[in-house]
Structure 1
Amino acid sequence: MSGTLRAGLVGLGAMGRNHARVLSVLDGVELVGAADAVVTDTRVSHGAPIVADVEQLIALKPDYVVVAAPTATHEEIGLQLAEAGIHALIEKPLAPTVEGAQRLVDAFASRGLVGGVGHIERYNPSLQSLRTRLADGELGEIYQVVTRRQGPFPGRIADVGVVKDLATHDIDLTAWVTGQRYVSVSARSSRRSGREHEDMVAVVGELDGGAIVNHLVNWLSPLKERSTVVTGERGAFIADTLTADLTFYSNGAVRTEWEAVSAFRGVSEGDVTRFAIAKREPLLVEHENFRDAVRGEDADIVTLEQGLRTVSVAAAALLSATDGSVVRL
């Protein structure tokens, strides 16, 4: 597909407005319209016309559409777009259920359409650098991945809990940076704020390469934290996705002769390196890659199949939190 691509957008909430901002300046793309049943001010859509529903957006003949509507609507909207022969980038999670995510995978695949999922953390500079370094063997064997994702409750989220909204970030990025799949998960969750869905979860899992994982996620903390720690045979990487910083703590090559100190240490402490990384906006990089995929060019997108796997792991964590089981995947 050559020439300027015509893009559409569904949803002008907080995330949708960010998508509109990027689409309005994205090279080789024209934002031809947005669909929202409530918002009518075209300043929000950066001058693009706003229509009331998806059918009217389809009538504008976009080449692809970004879906930034509530999670509960992803399947219905995605299937409408697939039926109309329109490529789509669907915000994470792909769908609220495994079955719905599978139907989206099948619908886009059967029509030869490009479908992607908006797992924006994959485009964070610190995690992109981390993935490259892990693939190059800089850490050696991966032993453990620990993520912490906590902060205040976002009032805009009402249809899902912290597992589907936040933990899906950690599930996807863990599988992506390590190149490994989940084989089991166990979880415990709670509802401390009186809302319908869980607002805190602790997940323990195992990857098919032997690494163990731990995800601590909540909407109950006044401290906003986004941390990924990968420990292996040569040390540990720490990625802070709020600042896009990546630091490596190497195992030391020098033994301590202070007996009182050395008795309490497993590996010795080595050098600490903070890497200089080019920091581009993750959302812009995500859009550039999806644009290129629609053009038929080489691009790094989160496929619908990968999005389905993330939904499956999230569903397994919720099942485990309900019945206390260890769920095999």
Structure 2
Amino acid sequence: MATDQPVRGAVLGLGMIGRHHARILQSDAGMRFAGAVDPGGDRFGALRDPALLFGSVHELLAASGGPPDFAVVAVPTEEHLPAVRELAAAGVHVLVEKPLAATADEAREIIDIVRDAGLHGAVGHVERCNPALLELRRRVNDGQLGEVFLVATERVGPFPDRVRDVGVVKDLATHDLDLVRWLGGGRVDRVAAQTQHRMGRAHEDLVLVTGQLEGGVAFNSVVDWLTPMKVRRTRILGERGMLVADTLRADLMFYENADVPTQGWPAMQALRGVAEGDMTRYALTRHEPLAVELQAFCALIRGEDDALVVTLEEGLETVAVAEAVLASAASGQTVVVRASA
């Protein structure tokens, strides 16, 4: 498509995340809003023009403006596959909210559908666009920490009423299972997990995951819907110190290892380990992560092959890791991850 023309985008689902996609599509100069699909209506008042609300994908595709260039699929997870199938048949590129699908098999089918239609697809793992995590990853890749030992995440808070179809692993922990690979520089090789059910739902509401990436880096993630305060923290520990990102505030801190000499007593130096050094809080340029995500997908549609999107194949890997986490929790065994497309 012409690189100087705004990209026409639509949204399927005007819930917690879809309404924010609609807001950005209606305000970003590089995009044009083609409409939204939600049988439940515009209950959050997200649309400026009520005429752009449609009751079905069929109505959206048949509208006078023609099919959009792309659509954000922000419907419940179990509806992702049929939505992508209908959109791809009409030649519409798809940005699918995470997790890519309810199962790895459905994720593979989505990949096949998009590829066979010759379209672009990506997954909405918006945390990758958080300014604190982008800067953290840049610094790790530049060698600031030296050898990386551990990637650790904490994502806890109260239960969100929007969730109805999955547990905390596929809804919330998929953020972390994607991040540990992206930040740690290797695919997840194996996981050992525990879950708990405390709210009377069919699905789990707490998960503890310990694992290892293919390169040997360890990781752990703590995720729940039981904590009465919201915490979103990612830390990477390495031989020279630790980087800690608070992704709620988009803050990034560096805790440096101190050099504490032992006055010619090398055996004692070896036993001491590290000591507390300087702490630095970085000043960051902050952009709304969801807007950055949409802009990157539009760049991909315009033909920028290096656009910073999360590929469908990466989305499949995350779903496969989530399934391995649930299998480990059910069996009490460490599970090796297999996620080939």
TM-score by length of 2: 0.92
Q: What are the Cα deviations for residues 59-81 of structure 1, in whole angstroms up to 9, with x where unaligned? A: 23111001111111111111211
Q: Give the drift of 1:41.
A: 6.4
Q: Distance in 2 between matches of 1:109 and 1:28?
A: 26
Specify the alignment match of 1:59 in structure 2. Answer: 62
Q: Give the drift of 1:196.
A: 1.3
Whether the 8 Å contact between 1:20 and 1:46 is mirrored in structure 2 is no
Q: Distance in 2 between matches of 1:279 and 1:134?
A: 19
Q: What are the Cα deviations for residues 127-147 of structure 1, in whole angstroms up to 9, with x where unaligned? A: 000111111111111101111
Specify the alignment match of 1:13 in structure 2. Answer: 15
Specify the alignment match of 1:305 in structure 2. Answer: 313
Whether the 8 Å contact between 1:42 and 1:50 is mirrored in structure 2 is no
Q: Give the drift of 1:37.
A: 0.5
Q: Identify the match of residue 192 of structure 2 among 186, 190, 195.
A: 186
User: Secondary structure, in 3 states, of the residue corresponding to 2:108?
Assistant: helix
Amino acid at match of 1:186: A
Whether the 8 Å contact between 2:19 and 2:44 is mirrored in structure 1 is no
Specify the alignment match of 2:266 in structure 1. Answer: none
Q: Identify the match of residue 224 of structure 1 among 216, 227, 230.
A: 230
Q: Give the drift of 1:104.
A: 0.6
Q: Give the drift of 1:42.
A: 9.2
Q: Distance in 2 between matches of 1:324 and 1:43?
A: 46
Specify the alignment match of 1:176 in structure 2. Answer: 182
Specify the alignment match of 1:244 in structure 2. Answer: 250
Whether the 8 Å contact between 2:153 and 2:176 is mirrored in structure 1 is yes
Whether the 8 Å contact between 1:139 and 1:235 is mirrored in structure 2 is yes
User: Secondary structure, in 3 states, of the residue corresponding to 1:221?
Assistant: strand
1:283 maps to 2:290: yes
Q: Give the drift of 1:268.
A: 1.4
Q: Identify the match of residue 102 of structure 2 among 77, 85, 96.
A: 96
Q: What are the Cα deviations for residues 33-56 of structure 1, in whole angstroms up to 9, with x where unaligned? A: 110101156942232611111111
Q: Give the drift of 1:109.
A: 1.4
Q: What are the Cα deviations for residues 126-176 of structure 1, in whole angstroms up to 9, with x where unaligned? A: 000011111111111110111110000001101000000110000111111
Q: What are the Cα deviations for residues 235-284 of structure 1, in whole angstroms up to 9, with x where unaligned? A: 11101100111111111123378xxxx99953112111111110111011
Q: Distance in 2 between matches of 1:167 and 1:255?
A: 42
User: Secondary structure, in 3 states, of the residue corresponding to 2:316?
Assistant: helix
User: Secondary structure, in 3 states, of the residue corresponding to 1:205?
Assistant: strand
Q: Distance in 2 between matches of 1:159 and 1:193?
A: 15
Q: Distance in 2 between matches of 1:41 and 1:99?
A: 33
User: Secondary structure, in 3 states, of the residue corresponding to 1:236?
Assistant: strand
Q: Distance in 2 between matches of 1:299 and 1:122?
A: 13
Amino acid at match of 1:138: Q
Go from structure 1 to structure 2 and tell me whether the alpha carbon gap of 1:265 and 1:245 turns closer, same or farther (over 3 Å shift): farther
> How do residues 1-329 of structure 1 correspond to structure 2 at under 5 angstroms?
1-2=1-2, 3-40=5-42, 43-47=45-49, 49-60=52-63, 61-255=67-261, 266-297=273-304, 298-329=306-337
Amino acid at match of 1:98: A
Amino acid at match of 1:90: V
Amino acid at match of 1:140: G
Q: Give the drift of 1:32.
A: 1.3
Amino acid at match of 1:171: L
Q: Give aligned pairs, total.
A: 327
Amino acid at match of 1:284: A
User: Secondary structure, in 3 states, of the residue corresponding to 2:287?
Assistant: coil
Q: Distance in 2 between matches of 1:80 and 1:74?
A: 10
Q: Give the drift of 1:17.
A: 0.8
Deviates more, 1:33-42 or 1:80-89: 33-42
Amino acid at match of 2:59: Q
Q: Give the drift of 1:5.
A: 1.8
Q: Give the drift of 1:57.
A: 1.6
Deviates more, 1:198-207 or 1:51-60: 51-60
Q: What are the Cα deviations for residues 304-329 of structure 1, in whole angstroms up to 9, with x where unaligned? A: 01100000100100111111111112
Whether the 8 Å contact between 1:92 and 1:117 is mirrored in structure 2 is yes
Deviates more, 1:265-274 or 1:309-318: 265-274
User: Secondary structure, in 3 states, of the residue corresponding to 2:310?
Assistant: coil
Amino acid at match of 1:287: L
Q: Distance in 2 between matches of 1:106 and 1:138?
A: 39
Go from structure 1 to structure 2 and tell me whether the alpha carbon gap of 1:226 and 1:7 turns closer, same or farther (over 3 Å shift): same
Q: Distance in 2 between matches of 1:268 and 1:42?
A: 51
Q: Distance in 2 between matches of 1:327 and 1:141?
A: 26
Whether the 8 Å contact between 2:184 and 2:213 is mirrored in structure 1 is no
Q: Distance in 2 between matches of 1:109 and 1:150?
A: 36
Q: Give the drift of 1:83.
A: 1.9
Identity %, equivalent residues = 49
Amino acid at match of 2:284: I
Where do 5+ consecutive residues of structure 2 fail to align? 264-268
Amino acid at match of 1:185: V
User: Secondary structure, in 3 states, of the residue corresponding to 2:105?
Assistant: helix
User: Secondary structure, in 3 states, of the residue corresponding to 2:198?
Assistant: coil
